[in-house]
């Protein structure tokens, strides 16, 4: 048995990097009968950097549509973080046992505070505490994480240990990582797809939009002409093929075609566009259905919120009892 927690920030369109690197794995993990899964639109995390309050509810709705369109709600509880106030409540208790030194070593804080120099709030510094609370509130034991989130997960493990040790109680298990190793580069060859860099292909883009972006996408830089054999192992287009193009076409047509120069990069991209449409066409159709029924989306999120609040109430009772909070037990 494992309890899985993961979240996505509503800070921009869900792109192929998110879909291939994380969302698909979430769905697979949630399908295992021995797993109980919680997936959150982590809106409180988005408040740590400047954002537009007027368009924010729409961003949360769009993120929810994307998560539901890939089918996560079939086995997992999907909810919005701010619908469960115990996340921020637990963050306070954990914050009181969190060593400042550990927070100061977080590389993501250093990077983000550089990026948002003029508006660094304390929330950006204490962000890992809220992330630890997200996981520990559900007694999460398995957390899908990419390389850039490993340090935060290690911090969450430390928080579980610090709290249990400080109050001599076994309230929290130590969550383990489920490593997400696939990284999709930007269409410009940049290390990561990122909306701010304008190098993304959105998960819900139409076939026309996908093709427009794929056409100019970076490939093997040494394949300067059609006659030069390519190196699939360094090519982002091939990495995407490995996710959506099944065998034997992946090896026989794409890999062998590339290394023997039987196919050109244009042919290869056309095949990828077809594979993407086979994979994502149904997801886009489901997203369109959901957008046409916003009431249904809210209903799913409300149900998820209620389930999570019930679980969170149980955990907070244990937390308060351990911490000696007046009123946690019947008062003297
Ligand atoms: S043929 Fe495909 S895999 Fe090979 S370099 Fe071109 S785009 Fe990349």
Q: Is the dihedral of CA 235, 239, 244, 247 positive or negative?
A: positive
The per-residue pLDDT for range 67-124, each reduced to its tens digit, is 999 999 889 999 999 999 999 999 999 999 999 988 888 887 777 777 777 777 888 8
The per-residue pLDDT for range 128-141, each reduced to its tens digit, is 999 999 999 999 99
Q: Residue 269's pLDDT is what?
A: 98
Q: Residue 123's pLDDT is what?
A: 85
271 lines ligand 1 (CB under 6 A): no
Determine whether 286 is exposed, middle or buried from the number of CB atoms within 10 Å of its CB (0-12, 13-18, 19+): middle
Atom of ligand 1 nearest to the CA of 241: 3
Q: Residue 330's pLDDT is what?
A: 62
The phi and psi torsions of 325 (rounded to 5 degrees) equal -75, 130
180 contact partners, CB below 8 Å, separation of at least 6: 21, 22, 25, 144, 145, 146
User: pTM of the prediction?
Assistant: 0.92
The alpha carbon of 324 is separated from its chain's Cα centroid by a whole number of angstroms, namely: 35
Whether 195 is catalytic is yes
237 lines ligand 1 (CB under 6 A): yes
The per-residue pLDDT for range 288-324, each reduced to its tens digit, is 999 999 999 999 999 999 999 999 999 999 999 999 9
Atom of ligand 1 nearest to the CA of 235: 8
Domains in the chain, ordered, with CATH? 2-184+293-323 (3.40.50.620), 204-289 (1.10.240.10)
Whether 112 is catalytic is yes
Whether 31 is catalytic is no
Q: Residue 332's pLDDT is what?
A: 57
255 lines ligand 1 (CB under 6 A): no
User: Does the structure show a pLDDT above 80 at 12?
Assistant: yes
Q: Residue 109's pLDDT is what?
A: 77
User: Does the structure show a pLDDT above 90 at 179?
Assistant: yes
263 lines ligand 1 (CB under 6 A): yes
Q: Residue 326's pLDDT is what?
A: 84
Q: Residue 122's pLDDT is what?
A: 85
The per-residue pLDDT for range 218-253, each reduced to its tens digit, is 999 999 999 999 999 999 999 999 999 999 999 999
Residue with tokens 């400080």: 166
The alpha carbon of 126 is separated from its chain's Cα centroid by a whole number of angstroms, namely: 19
């Amino acid at each position: 048995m494992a309890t899985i927690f993961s979240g996505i920030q509503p800070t921009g369109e869900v792109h192929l990097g998110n879909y291939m690197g994380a969302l698909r794995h979430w769905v697979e993990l949630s399908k295992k009968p021995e797993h109980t899964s919680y997936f959150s639109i982590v809106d409180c995390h988005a408040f740590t950097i400047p954002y537009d309050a007027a368009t924010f509810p729409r961003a949360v709705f769009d993120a929810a549509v994307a998560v539901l369109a890939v089918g996560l709600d079939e086995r997992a509880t999907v909810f919005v973080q701010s619908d469960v106030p115990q996340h921020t409540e637990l963050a306070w208790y954990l914050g009181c046992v969190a060593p400042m030194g550990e927070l100061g070593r977080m590389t993501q804080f250093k990077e983000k505070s550089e990026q948002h120099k003029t508006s660094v709030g304390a929330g950006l510094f204490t962000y890992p505490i809220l992330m630890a609370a997200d996981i520990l509130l559900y007694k999460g034991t398995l957390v899908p994480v990419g390389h850039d989130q490993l340090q935060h997960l290690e911090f969450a493990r430390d928080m579980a240990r610090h709290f249990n040790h400080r109050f001599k109680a076994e309230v929290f298990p130590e969550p383990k990582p489920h490593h997400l190793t696939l990284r999709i580069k930007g269409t410009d060859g940049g290390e990561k797809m990122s909306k701010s860099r304008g190098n993304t292909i959105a998960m819900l883009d139409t076939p026309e939009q996908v093709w427009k972006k794929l056409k100019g996408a970076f490939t093997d830089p040494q394949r300067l002409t059609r006659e030069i054999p390519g190196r699939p192992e360094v090519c982002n287009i091939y990495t995407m093929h490995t996710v959506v193009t099944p065998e034997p076409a992946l090896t026989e047509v794409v890999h062998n075609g590339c290394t023997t120069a039987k196919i050109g990069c244009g042919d290869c991209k056309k095949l990828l566009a077809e594979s993407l449409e086979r994979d994502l066409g149904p997801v886009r159709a489901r997203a369109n259905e959901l957008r046409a029924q916003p009431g249904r989306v809210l209903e799913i999120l409300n149900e998820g919120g209620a389930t999570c609040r019930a679980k969170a109430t149980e955990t907070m009772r244990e937390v308060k009892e351990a911490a000696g909070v007046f009123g946690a037990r019947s008062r003297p």
